[in-house]
Amino acid sequence: MSASRRTFTKEFKLKVVQAYESGASIAELMREFNIHANLVYKWTQEYRNNPSGAFRGSDESTAAHQALEKRVAELEQVLGRMTMENDFLKKALKRAEAASIKKAQNDGTN
């Protein structure tokens, strides 16, 4: 069984780094944010090395994720319309078949 990796937003990472740099202990951050100490060190180092470009990958993955969610929502709408249309056409076909049978029976009796 493989464990899935959690992803964190840029805002979350910045919040953790700011808390650490303002004096919060690693133990406090681990408990409060339910993260491993190594993440705090890694994120802090990344932020210190490049404050303006830190955590850029998470924004890109978030944007890609949002684009995928939008596409899924669009496809779900299309699927819903197609399902309704399919149900309508099935009912119409049954009515047409029933009318055709009834007409054939009436024609045969006349």
d(CA 52, CA 60): 15
Q: CB within 8 A of 38, min separation 6: which ones?
A: none
Each residue of 17-53: pLDDT tens digit? 999 999 999 999 999 999 999 999 999 999 999 888 8
**Cα separations (Å) of 16 from 36, 51, 73, 90, 110?**
11, 14, 32, 57, 87
pLDDT at residue 105, as a whole number: 86
Residues of the chain with pLDDT > 90, as a percent, come to: 63
Each residue of 5-27: pLDDT tens digit? 888 888 999 999 999 999 999 99
* Cα 49–Cα 35–Cα 59 angle in degrees, nearest 5: 50
pLDDT at residue 65, as a whole number: 79
What is the CATH architecture of 10-109?
Answer: Orthogonal Bundle (1.10)
| Domain ranges within the chain, ordered by starting residue | 10-109
* Cα 23–Cα 27–Cα 28 angle in degrees, nearest 5: 60
